[in-house]
Structure 1
Amino acid sequence: MPIQKVTRDEILQKSLSVFKRQGYHRTTMDDLARACGLLKGSFYHYFNSKETLMKEVLWWVTRTSEQRIFSVAYQAELPPEERLALFLDRLYTAVSVSEGGCIMGNTVLETALLTDEFKEPMQAFFAGLINAVAHIYQTTHPAVQALTLAQQLAAELEGSLLLVKLGSPESLLQDCRKRALNRLNASTHDCTPNP
């Protein structure tokens, strides 16, 4: 049987959905091939292992996020509040497109203590997210504080996503969004963490 025509991007997108839904360890090459409409043997024509595919999925998500989400932070023609709101809206849309939440957060929880295989793309993703948010916060806060606020937002976002996956109301994400926007305009003194 000839190899079916499918693009690498199509495989990455479909595999992303499977990994988000099932997790890395519970996903088999059969699951991935089936999701892509390929026979398992044909699937190996594109990717020689599940590890290779997962790493490429994570890099693809990182690159796509840089282009479609993180880049908003650097659009100087937009006011900072609009940039942050658009950034968060696009991020929320990206993680809610298919069931499973945030592939990066999920994969960190599932694999970080077991393997270093996926750390580089995950670190690049979170660095891109934090740097983009810090860039926006620097419009109203000193650089060090902007970075701290951006790290807090990343942690709060991932925590909210985890709780929503467990059944908490999705309003947690909107509350997180409101706090992020409020912090943008809060005075430096208002945002200083308590010792």
Structure 2
Amino acid sequence: MPIQKVTKQEVVTQALLLFKKRGYHRTSMADLAAACGLLKGSFYHYFSSKEALMKEVLEAVHSYFKAKVFVIAYDESFAPRERLEKMLAKQIKVACATEGGCLMGNMAIETALVTDEFRPVMRAFFDEYLKALAHVYSGKYDALKARQLAEQAMVEYEGAWIMVKLTDSSHYLQDVLERAMLRFDADEKQ
């Protein structure tokens, strides 16, 4: 296979797609190099290890969601309900755009108990995700109730991906969105 010139960002993008599809432990450095059109030895020019690459992939996903998804929660030009719907719909769209589902959820399940170095990056992502959801809910509920609803929406979303993978049916994701909206509409501000 000829060596191709690729950017570090292209390597991260290809790795993201492979890690989403195959998982961290089932993806080898040879798989990653092949996906980028590189020889395995050339791959180390970009990243010293698979762990270093995975950490950068996780940070890239976090940066993307912070700039393109979580930011929706803070856009005061929309009503809180509309922000919630837009944010969750965008999150579902992004995760469904490529095979494999939610990378952060996948990696949390696969690596949290065996690879401590990824935990801070994943934790920061989920903390920011929870904060964004709680901010939206705080437009209608007190801080405690907003946090509880945010946690429930986040946990349901991640759990829905398990069912999507088991059944090949994406209706679970739409159900999460619908239930989040129903919960938002359920009560008056407390």
Matched, 1:128 2:141: no
Specify the SS of the correspondent of 1:169: coil
| Contact 2:3/2:37 (<8 A) preserved | no
| Contact 2:2/2:37 (<8 A) preserved | no
**1:145 Cα deviation from its structure 2 partner:** 0.9
Unmatched runs of 5 consecutive residues or more in structure 1:
none
Structure-2 residue corresponding to 1:172? 172
Structure-2 residue corresponding to 1:6? 6
Q: What is the TM-score with the length of structure 1 in the denominator?
A: 0.92
Equivalent residue letter for 1:85: E
Structure-1 residue corresponding to 2:67? 67
Which region of structure 1 is more displaced relative to structure 2, 60-69 or 160-169? 160-169
Superimposed CA distance per residue, residues 91-139 of structure 1 (whole angstroms, 9 cap, x where no aligned partner): 0111111111111111111111112110011001111111101000000
RMSD: 1.8
2:101 & 2:95 partners in 1: Cα distance?
5
Q: State, as a whole percentage, how many aligned pairs show the same letter.
A: 48
Would you say how many aligned residue pairs link Structure 1 and Structure 2? 190
Superimposed CA distance per residue, residues 140-172 of structure 1 (whole angstroms, 9 cap, x where no aligned partner): 000111011101111000000111100153111
| Contact 1:95/1:102 (<8 A) preserved | yes
1:153 & 1:168 partners in 2: Cα distance?
21
Which region of structure 1 is more displaced relative to structure 2, 114-123 or 4-13? 4-13
**1:23 Cα deviation from its structure 2 partner:** 0.7
| Structure 1 runs (4+) greater than 4 angstroms displaced | none
Q: What is the TM-score with the length of structure 2 in the denominator?
A: 0.94
Q: Give the direction of change, closer, same or farther, for the CA distance of 1:4–1:74 in structure 2 (3 Å limit).
A: same
Unmatched runs of 5 consecutive residues or more in structure 2:
none
| Contact 1:58/1:121 (<8 A) preserved | yes
Matched, 1:26 2:26: yes
1:82 & 1:9 partners in 2: Cα distance?
33
Matched, 1:110 2:131: no
Which region of structure 1 is more displaced relative to structure 2, 150-159 or 178-187? 178-187
